[in-house]
Structure 1
Amino acid sequence: MFRQAGFIFFLGIAAGLLCNHFRPAGLALTGGTTLLNEDATLPEGVSVIPLAEARKAYSSGRALFLDARDPKIYRSGHIRGARNLPVETVDEDFDQVMAGVAKNALLITYCDGAACDLSARLAEELYFRGYDRVRVLPNGWSRWKAAGLPTGQSDEAAR
């Protein structure tokens, strides 16, 4: 009986891991791993931007910041003036959010957390859609907020 229970237990674990592996937004199975930093390797055409450089681009008004997080999280706090383009709904929201944005505009994507890859995934999507000046701000929201830079809430600059 214990043998059968053990077999069913391990079969359940294997099935769960397999489902997680093939799920588009599968859960990370390792913790504390930094996926993005200023030395990160990203797809060709996409690069990391240091916080100091992102701050200068923001101050000069020469960049559009794109928040890759869920709309509810975006509304609770974001970089002031940023537009929300969640990577999970990019196909549905792209035309509305990116209306009037030139292909050669400087785009800076961000999300929150050292292990968050949403900004890199969004940056890659933008690059493949023809935007050639796409940068990723690693752990952007936390670092931006910690530096005391301008933030916004609610539906400001929303889609």
Structure 2
Amino acid sequence: MQFLYSAYQIKQALWQICLILIFAVIFGLVSNTVRKQHLPLIGDWSTQGRLTTDSGDTFAIPFSEAVTAFDQKTALFLDARGDDLFKQGHIKGAKNLAWHDVDDYFMALAKDLKPTDRIITYCDGEACNLSHDLALFLIDLGFLNTKVLVNGWTLWIDNNLPVEKEE
């Protein structure tokens, strides 16, 4: 059995689809407007924008400040990449807390941490969100002195700073 649709039926279906979409958009915009914490229609998805809180504070750390913290041994560096990448190379003295395994390994690491400790998370590439997500996780747990070194691994390598590898 073959179904044939007339031009009128197709036109009517398209018109109904357009109406449904228009009503859905209007309903969504009105709902967003009346909710207490409305979502911005246009967001800043730049690296800096993603690392800035609603109050305007940033938790990105400048590279030079991270190097100073490393030289003075005033911060714990946490590599948010997976274990395999960590073993291939990481900032000297850094600990691995892979974001994807944070639930499994955080408690073992946390026993040596105080809420006031300075922590710098990093991963690789400006688009890498692993360090960002790890930093937010730590901040939510009360480690308020946590910062993100954006593109940390690449910057570290490009500047020939101390690294370690595990065999």
TM-score when normalising by structure 2 = 0.67
**1:43 Cα offset (Å):** 4.0
Q: 1-side partners of 2:85 and 2:128: how far apart? A: 14
For residues 58 and 119 of structure 2, what CA distance do their matches in structure 1 show?
10
- 1:142 aligned residue: 154
Structure 1: 5+ residue stretches without partners: 1-33
- Matched with 1:107 is 119
Contact 1:109/1:122 (<8 A) preserved: yes
Distance 2:135 2:46 in 1: 15
Match status 1:53 vs 2:65: yes
Unpaired runs of 5+ residues, structure 2, are 1-44
Task: State the number of aligned residues.
Answer: 121
Change (3 A) 1:106 1:46: farther
Q: 2:52 aligns with which of 37, 42, 45?
A: 42
Deviations 1:93-141 (CA, angstroms, capped at 9, x unpaired): 0011232111100000000012101000000000011101010000000
CA RMSD in angstroms comes to 1.9
Give, in whole Å, the separation in 1 of the partners of 2:143 and 2:87. Answer: 26
Q: Which amino acid aligns with 1:119?
A: S
Residue 120 of structure 2 aligns with an amino acid whose one-letter code is: I
Q: Give 4+ residue runs of structure 1 displaced > 3 Å after superposition.
A: 39-46
Larger relative contact order (Cα-Cα within 8 Å, sequence gap ≥ 6): 1
Equivalent position of 1:68 in the other structure: 80
TM-score where L is the length of structure 1: 0.71
Residue identity over aligned pairs, in percent, reads 36
Change (3 A) 1:49 1:113: same
In 2, Cα distance between the equivalents of 1:73 and 1:127? 24
Structural mapping, 1:1-159, within 5 Å: 35-37=46-48, 40-43=50-53, 47-154=59-166
Post-superposition offset of 1:36: 2.4
Query: Equivalents in 1 of 2:95, 2:165: separation in Å?
Result: 12
SS of the residue corresponding to residue 113 of structure 1 reads coil
> 3-state DSSP class of the match of 1:135?
strand
The structure having more radius of gyration, on CA atoms, is 2
Q: Please state which structure has a larger fraction of its residues in helix.
A: 2
